[in-house]
Structure 1
Amino acid sequence: MRRDVVDTLLFVPVRVSAPGGAFAAVRTARPGAGQERVGLAFTGEERLHAALGPTQPWIRLSRPALLGLLRPLGIADIRTDPLYVGPEMPSVDLLEDGPAPAGVRRHAQWLPDEVW
Protein backbone atom coordinates (compact mmCIF):
# COMPACT_ATOMS: atom_id res chain seq x y z
CA MET A 1 0.00 0.00 0.00
CA ARG A 2 1.25 3.47 -0.85
CA ARG A 3 2.58 5.54 2.05
CA ASP A 4 0.32 8.55 1.28
CA VAL A 5 -2.75 6.28 1.52
CA VAL A 6 -1.60 4.84 4.85
CA ASP A 7 -0.92 8.30 6.33
CA THR A 8 -4.22 9.83 5.18
CA LEU A 9 -6.64 10.67 7.97
CA LEU A 10 -9.98 8.99 7.36
CA PHE A 11 -13.43 9.94 8.61
CA VAL A 12 -14.42 7.12 10.98
CA PRO A 13 -18.01 6.83 12.28
CA VAL A 14 -18.35 6.55 16.05
CA ARG A 15 -20.97 6.14 18.73
CA VAL A 16 -20.65 8.51 21.64
CA SER A 17 -21.52 7.58 25.23
CA ALA A 18 -23.91 10.51 25.67
CA PRO A 19 -24.49 13.89 24.03
CA GLY A 20 -21.25 15.79 24.56
CA GLY A 21 -19.70 12.67 26.10
CA ALA A 22 -15.97 12.10 25.96
CA PHE A 23 -16.20 8.36 25.27
CA ALA A 24 -16.51 7.24 21.64
CA ALA A 25 -16.45 3.76 20.08
CA VAL A 26 -15.80 3.16 16.40
CA ARG A 27 -18.76 1.75 14.50
CA THR A 28 -18.53 -1.58 12.74
CA ALA A 29 -20.79 -3.35 10.27
CA ARG A 30 -21.36 -6.74 8.69
CA PRO A 31 -21.38 -7.07 4.89
CA GLY A 32 -24.26 -9.54 5.27
CA ALA A 33 -26.06 -11.58 7.89
CA GLY A 34 -23.67 -13.98 9.61
CA GLN A 35 -20.54 -12.48 8.02
CA GLU A 36 -17.53 -11.18 9.91
CA ARG A 37 -17.56 -7.61 11.20
CA VAL A 38 -15.54 -4.96 9.38
CA GLY A 39 -14.43 -1.46 10.28
CA LEU A 40 -15.88 1.48 8.37
CA ALA A 41 -13.96 4.49 7.07
CA PHE A 42 -14.67 7.29 4.62
CA THR A 43 -12.44 9.56 2.56
CA GLY A 44 -14.71 12.56 3.08
CA GLU A 45 -17.30 13.82 5.54
CA GLU A 46 -19.89 14.09 2.76
CA ARG A 47 -19.45 10.40 1.89
CA LEU A 48 -19.83 9.40 5.54
CA HIS A 49 -23.04 11.42 5.88
CA ALA A 50 -24.41 10.06 2.58
CA ALA A 51 -23.94 6.50 3.86
CA LEU A 52 -24.91 6.95 7.52
CA GLY A 53 -26.98 10.11 7.70
CA PRO A 54 -26.25 13.77 8.44
CA THR A 55 -26.16 13.39 12.23
CA GLN A 56 -23.56 10.58 12.33
CA PRO A 57 -20.65 11.64 14.59
CA TRP A 58 -17.12 10.89 13.40
CA ILE A 59 -13.46 11.19 14.31
CA ARG A 60 -10.34 11.41 12.14
CA LEU A 61 -8.01 8.41 12.29
CA SER A 62 -5.30 6.96 10.08
CA ARG A 63 -5.83 3.47 8.69
CA PRO A 64 -3.13 1.99 11.00
CA ALA A 65 -4.73 3.64 14.06
CA LEU A 66 -8.18 2.32 13.13
CA LEU A 67 -6.78 -1.19 12.60
CA GLY A 68 -5.10 -0.91 16.01
CA LEU A 69 -8.49 -0.24 17.62
CA LEU A 70 -10.23 -3.04 15.71
CA ARG A 71 -7.69 -5.86 16.11
CA PRO A 72 -8.48 -6.55 19.81
CA LEU A 73 -12.10 -7.09 18.65
CA GLY A 74 -10.94 -9.67 16.12
CA ILE A 75 -11.59 -7.35 13.16
CA ALA A 76 -8.87 -7.26 10.52
CA ASP A 77 -10.67 -5.60 7.59
CA ILE A 78 -11.69 -2.00 6.92
CA ARG A 79 -14.14 -1.08 4.17
CA THR A 80 -13.61 2.38 2.73
CA ASP A 81 -16.43 4.52 1.35
CA PRO A 82 -19.35 2.09 1.42
CA LEU A 83 -22.29 3.69 -0.39
CA TYR A 84 -24.85 2.94 2.29
CA VAL A 85 -24.90 1.42 5.76
CA GLY A 86 -28.32 0.38 6.98
CA PRO A 87 -31.02 -2.28 7.01
CA GLU A 88 -32.59 -1.36 3.64
CA MET A 89 -31.34 0.35 0.52
CA PRO A 90 -32.66 3.91 0.13
CA SER A 91 -34.52 4.92 -3.00
CA VAL A 92 -32.13 7.78 -3.92
CA ASP A 93 -29.34 7.48 -6.47
CA LEU A 94 -26.19 6.98 -4.38
CA LEU A 95 -23.85 7.08 -7.36
CA GLU A 96 -24.40 10.83 -7.84
CA ASP A 97 -21.73 11.32 -5.14
CA GLY A 98 -19.08 10.96 -7.82
CA PRO A 99 -16.45 8.38 -8.64
CA ALA A 100 -14.72 6.34 -5.98
CA PRO A 101 -11.06 7.12 -5.27
CA ALA A 102 -8.69 5.09 -7.45
CA GLY A 103 -8.27 1.52 -6.24
CA VAL A 104 -11.13 1.67 -3.71
CA ARG A 105 -13.97 -0.78 -4.16
CA ARG A 106 -17.31 0.66 -3.00
CA HIS A 107 -20.05 -1.54 -1.61
CA ALA A 108 -23.76 -0.95 -1.91
CA GLN A 109 -25.18 -2.15 1.40
CA TRP A 110 -24.02 -2.99 4.90
CA LEU A 111 -25.82 -4.16 7.98
CA PRO A 112 -25.07 -1.92 10.96
CA ASP A 113 -23.48 -3.87 13.76
CA GLU A 114 -24.83 -3.09 17.21
CA VAL A 115 -22.23 -5.27 18.96
CA TRP A 116 -19.30 -3.34 20.39
Structure 2
Amino acid sequence: MDALLFVPVRVDAHGGGFAAVRTARSGAGQERVGLAFTGEDRLHAALGSTQRWIRLSRPALLALLRPLGMENVRIDPHYVGPEMPVVDLRQEEPVLVGMRRHAQWLPDEVW
Protein backbone atom coordinates (compact mmCIF):
# COMPACT_ATOMS: atom_id res chain seq x y z
CA MET A 1 0.00 0.00 0.00
CA ASP A 2 1.28 3.46 -0.89
CA ALA A 3 2.03 5.89 1.92
CA LEU A 4 -0.27 8.85 2.29
CA LEU A 5 1.26 12.16 1.24
CA PHE A 6 0.41 15.72 2.27
CA VAL A 7 -1.12 17.30 -0.85
CA PRO A 8 -1.64 21.09 -0.94
CA VAL A 9 -5.14 22.25 -1.86
CA ARG A 10 -6.97 25.47 -2.63
CA VAL A 11 -10.24 25.63 -0.73
CA ASP A 12 -13.46 27.06 -2.15
CA ALA A 13 -13.60 30.73 -1.07
CA HIS A 14 -17.41 30.64 -0.93
CA GLY A 15 -17.53 28.00 1.80
CA GLY A 16 -18.98 25.27 -0.42
CA GLY A 17 -16.60 22.68 0.97
CA PHE A 18 -14.75 22.14 -2.32
CA ALA A 19 -10.98 21.71 -2.57
CA ALA A 20 -8.72 21.55 -5.61
CA VAL A 21 -5.21 20.12 -5.54
CA ARG A 22 -2.52 22.68 -6.26
CA THR A 23 -0.24 22.22 -9.25
CA ALA A 24 2.91 24.03 -10.30
CA ARG A 25 5.45 24.51 -13.06
CA SER A 26 9.22 24.47 -12.63
CA GLY A 27 9.47 27.53 -14.89
CA ALA A 28 7.83 29.41 -17.71
CA GLY A 29 6.66 27.03 -20.41
CA GLN A 30 7.43 23.92 -18.37
CA GLU A 31 4.96 21.09 -17.83
CA ARG A 32 2.42 21.29 -15.01
CA VAL A 33 2.99 18.81 -12.22
CA GLY A 34 1.24 17.78 -9.05
CA LEU A 35 2.78 18.67 -5.70
CA ALA A 36 3.04 16.43 -2.64
CA PHE A 37 5.04 16.36 0.56
CA THR A 38 6.17 13.59 2.90
CA GLY A 39 5.46 15.69 6.00
CA GLU A 40 3.32 18.62 7.07
CA ASP A 41 6.46 20.48 8.16
CA ARG A 42 7.93 20.17 4.63
CA LEU A 43 4.68 21.37 3.05
CA HIS A 44 4.56 24.43 5.33
CA ALA A 45 8.26 25.19 4.74
CA ALA A 46 7.64 25.31 0.99
CA LEU A 47 4.18 26.90 0.88
CA GLY A 48 3.75 28.75 4.16
CA SER A 49 2.10 27.93 7.45
CA THR A 50 -1.44 28.72 6.26
CA GLN A 51 -1.41 26.28 3.33
CA ARG A 52 -4.29 23.78 3.56
CA TRP A 53 -3.71 20.12 2.68
CA ILE A 54 -5.32 16.71 2.34
CA ARG A 55 -3.83 13.22 2.62
CA LEU A 56 -3.68 11.19 -0.60
CA SER A 57 -1.57 8.34 -1.92
CA ARG A 58 0.51 9.02 -5.03
CA PRO A 59 -1.76 6.81 -7.21
CA ALA A 60 -4.85 8.68 -5.97
CA LEU A 61 -3.23 12.05 -6.70
CA LEU A 62 -2.24 10.90 -10.19
CA ALA A 63 -5.81 9.70 -10.79
CA LEU A 64 -6.97 13.27 -10.12
CA LEU A 65 -4.25 14.84 -12.30
CA ARG A 66 -4.36 12.59 -15.39
CA PRO A 67 -7.68 13.97 -16.74
CA LEU A 68 -5.93 17.39 -16.68
CA GLY A 69 -3.05 16.03 -18.78
CA MET A 70 -0.53 15.73 -15.93
CA GLU A 71 1.53 12.59 -15.50
CA ASN A 72 4.07 13.66 -12.87
CA VAL A 73 4.16 14.54 -9.17
CA ARG A 74 7.03 16.41 -7.51
CA ILE A 75 7.63 15.19 -3.98
CA ASP A 76 9.03 17.65 -1.40
CA PRO A 77 9.98 20.61 -3.62
CA HIS A 78 11.95 23.16 -1.56
CA TYR A 79 10.07 26.31 -2.54
CA VAL A 80 6.76 26.93 -4.23
CA GLY A 81 5.43 30.41 -4.83
CA PRO A 82 5.80 33.71 -6.58
CA GLU A 83 7.63 35.44 -3.72
CA MET A 84 11.39 35.11 -3.60
CA PRO A 85 13.46 36.30 -0.61
CA VAL A 86 13.68 40.09 -0.45
CA VAL A 87 17.18 41.57 -0.74
CA ASP A 88 18.10 45.22 -0.27
CA LEU A 89 20.17 45.99 -3.38
CA ARG A 90 21.50 49.18 -1.78
CA GLN A 91 23.52 47.25 0.81
CA GLU A 92 27.31 47.39 0.65
CA GLU A 93 28.03 43.64 0.75
CA PRO A 94 27.57 41.16 -2.12
CA VAL A 95 23.91 40.28 -2.68
CA LEU A 96 24.13 36.47 -2.73
CA VAL A 97 26.49 35.96 0.20
CA GLY A 98 25.01 33.51 2.67
CA MET A 99 21.73 33.00 0.80
CA ARG A 100 20.57 29.46 0.06
CA ARG A 101 19.40 29.13 -3.52
CA HIS A 102 16.59 26.77 -4.51
CA ALA A 103 14.73 26.22 -7.73
CA GLN A 104 11.51 28.19 -7.82
CA TRP A 105 8.29 26.28 -8.48
CA LEU A 106 5.59 28.52 -9.85
CA PRO A 107 2.04 27.76 -8.71
CA ASP A 108 -0.41 27.65 -11.59
CA GLU A 109 -2.54 30.41 -10.15
CA VAL A 110 0.13 32.98 -11.12
CA TRP A 111 -0.34 32.13 -14.83
The TM-score by the shorter chain falls in which range? 0.7 to 0.9
Aligned-residue identity in percent: 79
TM-score normalised over the length of structure 1: 0.76
Aligned residues: 99
Q: Which residue of 1 aligns with 2:61?
A: 66
Higher helix share: 1
Which runs of at least 4 in structure 1 moved beyond 3 Å after TM superposition?
Answer: 91-95
SS, match of residue 90 in structure 1: coil
Kindly provide the CA deviation profile for residues 59-113 of structure 1, in whole angstroms up to 9, marking residues without a partner as x: 0000000000000000000000000001243369779xxxxxxxxxxx6320111
Change (3 A) 1:24 1:78: same
Structure with max Cα Rg = 2
Kindly provide the CA deviation profile for residues 27-69 of structure 1, in whole angstroms up to 9, marking residues without a partner as x: 0000100111000000000000000000000000000000000
Change (3 A) 1:76 1:55: same
SS, match of residue 14 in structure 1: strand
Matched, 1:87 2:82: yes
* Match 1:45 to one of 4, 29, 40: 40
Root mean square deviation, CA, Å: 2.4
TM-score normalised over the length of structure 2: 0.79
Unaligned segments of structure 2, at least 5 residues: 87-97
Rounded to whole Å, the distance in 2 between the matches of 1:47 and 1:108 is: 15
